[in-house]
């Protein structure tokens, strides 16, 4: 049985360590799609780090809230300038 998600179907996780990946839309679009389906997800949180060579990586992330934390994936969008 697959879990239906905008943009494709998620495989049923075999274990807690399962990893999901798919081509991203945007975190905002993913959040809206999950909100429309009744799933609670936090607003995007900015993040980033500087690599040892000085190159700065930037992203935004959104995470499911209880009771959905172990049922749906979190979202991560790379927003590092090209």
What are the extents of the domains in the chain? 3-11+24-78
Residue 36 sits at φ, ψ, to 5 deg, of: -60, -30
pLDDT, tens digit, 9 for 90 and up, residues 38-70: 999 999 999 999 999 999 999 998 999 999 888
Is-above-0.75 flag for pTM? Answer: no
Residue closest to 42 by CA, chosen among 55, 54, 27, 20: 27
26 against 66, higher pLDDT: 66
């Amino acid at each position: 049985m697959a879990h239906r998600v905008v943009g494709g179907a998620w495989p049923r996780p075999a274990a807690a360590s399962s990893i999901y990946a798919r081509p991203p839309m945007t975190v905002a679009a993913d959040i809206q799609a999950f909100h429309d389906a009744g799933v609670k997800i936090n607003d995007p949180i900015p993040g980033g780090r500087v690599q040892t060579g000085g190159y700065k990586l930037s992203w935004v992330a959104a995470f499911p809230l209880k009771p959905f934390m172990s049922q749906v994936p979190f979202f991560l969008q790379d927003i590092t300038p090209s």
